[in-house]
Chains A and B, each alone.
Chain A
Amino acid sequence: MAEVAIENVEKTFVNEDNENSFTVFKDIDLNVEAGEFVSLLGPSGCGKSTLLNIVAGLEQATAGKVSAGGEPITEPGPDRGVVFQEAALMPWLSVLDNVRFGLKKQKLSAEEEMERAEYFLKLVHLSKFMQSFPHELSGGMKQRVAIARALALDPDVLLMDEPFGALDEQTRTMLHQEVQYIWEETRKTILFVTHNIRESILLSDRIVLMGTRPGRIVETFDVDLERPRKPSDPAFIELEEAINKKLAVEIDKVMREEIGDDYNSKKSALLYHSHRDMGDNI
């Protein structure tokens, strides 16, 4: 039994004013096994975040079945921890209280609650900042608090929606290591949304490439590289190229739609390519 089972899922937004409808994606089938790290990769607008929100229970699928741990998903629940792109910490609570905020619903004793919060803050290396307030932390630290908060609930599945998208390169690299460490330590099932190819290869067991117009799963890539992975590894680069090629087609589609007929990625690639040899052989 898959930990997260997505069957024939469709999401359509209906505009109530003019009754226009827009289908984000349809016929999505995806199973995530327990303990697996799966990345959802795709261009903006392919609905990868929407799909994650449906698994989180924050949005409802228009059609199809979604279940977690064998139970159909109807609403958000602590069995599925979510880390958003923004840390979404409660600004009036200290770091420690933010982690405890989630635990309040678990009906633990005060000591147990404290112990768990401290344990997970230690796991993300934030023991020193337990009494700080969110506005005193850097973006990367806030995101680590958000991860600790989600993990403290002891969810079966951890859903991460472009968690490092708003961070700078160094912080992101550091957090990649941290996430790998956490995953090895806890072996949670992780569904990870990203638009960064390198990030997805670095972290996941399996990469699900999504396409757009209409949103769908284009291809699934298994990542059989040894951990810790190095972006300079030839196999890494090979996989990156392969995914990039597929992704470029989808991005092209998005750009064409956004910019219109002016857009031609092939032409501009020719014009600005450093090794262009137009007319050399005449």
Chain B
Amino acid sequence: MQVEFTTTSLPSFLGTMEQLYVGFFETQILLGATAISFYRIVLGFVIAVVVGTIVGIWLARSKAADETLGSLVIALQSIPSIVWLPIMIMIFQSSGTAPIVTVVAMAGAWVMISNMRVGIKSVEPILIRAAQTMGYKGPELIWKVMIPASIPTFLSATRLAWAFGWRALMAAELLGTGGLGRTLMDARDFFNMDLVIGIMVIIATIGLTMEYFVFRKLEKRIFSRWGLSS
């Protein structure tokens, strides 16, 4: 499939631009690869955020869970999530989307858990007491006070989860199948350095776009509403 790409051993600016144009608009190989990668990161990210938030809140609220599972999370956090890929490939009997999404989710989940735990724990006690005097208690207190109060922490955590997930995705795709990472390896196999650089440009562009147009904007809005200076 990659035969139509020209082979050059040293990348050039024009060559890179040409490869990007061809990959997106003629062969659409890059378009497909980007779509696959994006699908994986979004899926892995959503799983990380949902699981991480729930477990994080649980650890913050339950002392027993914190003392058992909490230390396990810290231990697991120190393992780069990419090293789980071989096991995941065995478990899922594939080297495609399923194991890669799992690795991406794991990369983001740890940082989500530990940040949410701290976020919930550091909600100002006075806010909780005030809500109690108005008749709030139990799960409602978590839902109506603790979670909204820790939204700024939540946002910083999602930003980290996305960044970690994105790095894990690229590493996993270099070893697995499909997506931008795999295409990058294919391009290398064909000595198509222009395409290698082209894919790196795509990776950087997606990363920057998310950072500046999604997370920064959200953070600015949330922080000003919560009265925090960012």
Contact = CB atoms under 8 A, between A and B. Distances in A.
Interface of A: 56-58, 75-78, 80-82, 84, 86, 88, 90-92, 101-102, 104-106, 133-136, 146, 149-150, 153
Contacts of A92: 148-149, 151, 225-226
A266 B138 CA distance: 53
Contact of A81 (B129, B133, B145, B227): B133
Contacts of B126: 84, 86, 88
Interface in B63-114: none
A57 B133 CA distance: 8
Interface in B129-153: 129-137, 144-145, 148-149, 151
Interface of B: 124, 126-127, 129-137, 144-145, 148-149, 151, 225-227
Contacts of B226: 91-92, 135
A80 B225 contact: no
A142 to B, nearest CB: 11
A100 to B, nearest CB: 11
Given A90-B145, A90-B149, A135 B127 contact: no
A84 B129 contact: yes
A101 B135 CA distance: 10
Contacts of A134: 227
A26 B214 CA distance: 58
What are the 6 tightest A-B residue pairs by CB atom distance, in nearest-first order?
A: A135-B227, A88-B130, A105-B135, A102-B134, A82-B133, A76-B132
Contact of B133 (A76, A91, A136): A76
B127 A133 contact: no
A148 to B, nearest CB: 13
Given A84-B129, A133-B227, A90 B148 contact: yes
Given A90-B145, A92-B149, A80 B133 contact: yes
Nearest to A77: B135
B135 A91 contact: no
6 contacts: A57-B133, A84-B130, A88-B130, A90-B149, A91-B227, A101-B144
A77 B137 CA distance: 10
Tell me the interface secondary structure of chain B in the complex: helix
Contacts, number: 64
Residue among B131, B134, B135, B148 with the highest chain A CB neighbour number at 10 A: B134
A264 B166 CA distance: 67
A56 B133 contact: yes
A88 B131 CA distance: 9
A153 B134 contact: yes
A58 B137 CA distance: 12
A62 B181 CA distance: 65
A90 to B, nearest CB: 6
A58 B132 contact: yes
Nearest to B137: A75
Nearest to B134: A102
Contacts of B132: 57-58, 75-76
Nearest to A92: B148
A56 B148 CA distance: 25
A80 B127 CA distance: 16
Contacts of A57: 132-133
B127 A76 contact: no
B225 A78 contact: no
A102 B135 CA distance: 8
A88 B130 CA distance: 7
Contacts of A88: 124, 126-127, 129-130
Contacts of A76: 129, 132-133, 135
Contacts of A102: 134-135
Contacts of A150: 133
Contact of B134 (A75, A78, A135): A78
A104 B133 CA distance: 13
Contacts of B133: 56-58, 76-78, 80-82, 150
A106 B135 CA distance: 9
B149 A78 contact: no
Nearest to B132: A76
Contact of A101 (B124, B129, B134, B151): B134
Contacts of A146: 130
B141 to A, nearest CB: 11
A55 to B, nearest CB: 11
A149 B144 CA distance: 16
B11 to A, nearest CB: 49
Given A92-B225, A92-B226, A105 B136 contact: yes
